[in-house]
Amino acid sequence: MPKMQPPRGTRDFLPREMNRRQYIIDTARRVFESFGFEPLDTPAFESWELLSAKGGGGEEIKNEIYYFKDKSNRELGLRFDLTVPLARVVANNPQMQKPFKKYQAGKVWRYDRPQAGRMREFLQMDPDVVGTSEMDADAECIAVAVETLKRLGFKRFEVRLNNRKILNGLTEFVKIPPKSSADVFRILDKLEKVPRNEITRGLKKTGIGSSKITKLMKLIEIRGKPSETLPKIGKFLGGIKKAEEGLSELKKIYELSKAYGFDKYILIDFSMVRGLDYYTGPIFEITTRTRKEVGSVAGGGRYDNLIELYGGRETPATGISLGIERIYEIMDSENMFDVPASNTTVFIVSVKKEIRKNVLEISQELRKGGINTETDLTGRDLRKQLDYANRKQIPYALIVGPKELKSGKFTLKDMRTGRETALTLGGVAKKVN
């Protein structure tokens, strides 16, 4: 007898959960398309060569992905994000018109330790803008994510902004050798979770002098609303050109955010780093205030070098990724779903088996009128049929028997109130639609 559980780190979605998940997916799709993003789809697995290329996943990604060989010994791996496949598609299709605005909705896989908000299989939805270095593209990706969250009913969230150019400029300013900077970033990333003195202790261990640490900590601690933080930080950047460029990009995004209407959600946070190697400019992360332990519900940034690294033309690009499982988890625990338990509107209760043909014809007619209609497939009795419709939370039951077929009037039972009305088929269609 084989294992009945899904593999560790993965899960099944039964209809009630799937209807809700589908609601999130459909809402996001509608918002993405309202901004002019078009759908794209790529395979679940990619060549190991692509996944592990420098600047993308890197060799070290092997420990975090599902790696395998096909029967011809090709090295493959399940994709760990949707950005690497997108960059491959763009590199492979130079003819595509720019800016290329696309979204992808797809599962990705990471061999993490499973925990709350972190499964080994999860669904991401990514809008990206490829082919422009203007901050308009970054602002629009954030706007699309914010609009999706608002449409789903989220009210309290933060859009954290930082810029890799500032982070890199900063390490240059305090003269941290490039090979230590990844360690430094990793430590800074924990600022919210661990006490300040633990951060400084960690930084000391990487071999940075205490005056440098003081400089770093000063900048990192300037967190808050852009109107307060952005004017203040110029002097901390020590005239490093790259960092100032990064600051000016953040200012542009902030200006644009006012027109898009997401300025009030922005939090400038120089301790926010984001894990992946490929970011080159602004980086962003959206967290909801109600359930911080779930982690960010969306995140992304600019990756201007990735497409060229994959052999494509020099092509700037930016994008954001929505984590559908995390959004689901928060919406579920906050009772934010207003999705019916069943997609079916009418269940036809057949009084006797002999009128099966009539029942089917009536069901086909209701469906033609756009009404999702289910009939009994088991031949069981009236009471059991009603019980099934009730448990499935189908809102209406339509009782059909020889008498009703003769008169052309059918009893429609509202399953929530128990109220019954005698109606023609046309009347039923009007009532339930």
Q: Rounded to the nearest whole angstrom, what is the least distance from the CB of residue 431 to a second copy in the complex?
A: 18
Return d(Cα 425, Cα 427) in angstroms, integer.
5
Please name the residue that has the structure tokens 């940034």. 301
Please report whether residue 113 would count as binding a second copy according to CB under 8 A: no
* Closest CB to a second copy among residues 343, 433: 343
Is 136 a binding residue for a second copy by CB under 8 A? The answer is yes
* 112 binding a second copy? (CB under 8 A): no
* Residue 153 interacting with a second copy (CB under 8 A): no
| Contact status: 101 vs a second copy (CB under 8 A) | yes
Interface pick for a second copy out of 172, 263, 374, 414 (rule CB under 8 A): 374
Question: Terminal CA-to-CA distance of the chain, rounded, Å?
Answer: 47
Q: Does 140 bind a second copy (CB under 8 A)?
A: yes
Interface residue with a second copy, options 24, 28, 61, 78 (CB under 8 A): 78
**Would you count residue 417 as binding a second copy (CB under 8 A)?**
no
Alpha-carbon separation of residue 351 from 19, 296, 311, 375 (angstroms)? 31, 53, 68, 12
Q: How far is CA 230 from CA 136, 165, 223, 247, 309, in A?
A: 18, 15, 9, 8, 32
Binding footprint of a second copy, residue count (CB under 8 A): 102
Q: What one-character-per-residue DSSP string does 272-299 give? A: ---S-TT--SEEEEEEESS-GGG--SEE
CB-CB contact of 219 with 232 (8 Å): no
Q: Give the Cα separation of 359 and 156 in Å (integer).
A: 49
* Minimum CB distance to a second copy, residue 428 (Å): 15
Touching a second copy, residues 277-316 (CB under 8 A): 309-312
Interface with a second copy in residues 235-264 (CB under 8 A): 256, 258-261
Minimum CB separation of residue 312 from a second copy in Å reads 7
Give how far Cα 303 sits from Cα of 42, 233, 279, 317, 411, Å: 19, 24, 5, 6, 62
Tokens of 63: 């420990």
Q: Is residue 180 part of the contact set for a second copy (CB under 8 A)? A: no
- Judged by CB under 8 A, the chain residues 375 through 414 that form the site for a second copy are 375-379, 388, 391-392, 394
Selected binder of a second copy within 28, 125, 129, 268 (CB under 8 A): 129
Nearest distance from residue 97's CB to a second copy, in Å? Answer: 5
- Side-chain half-sphere of 372: how many Cα atoms within 13 Å? 7
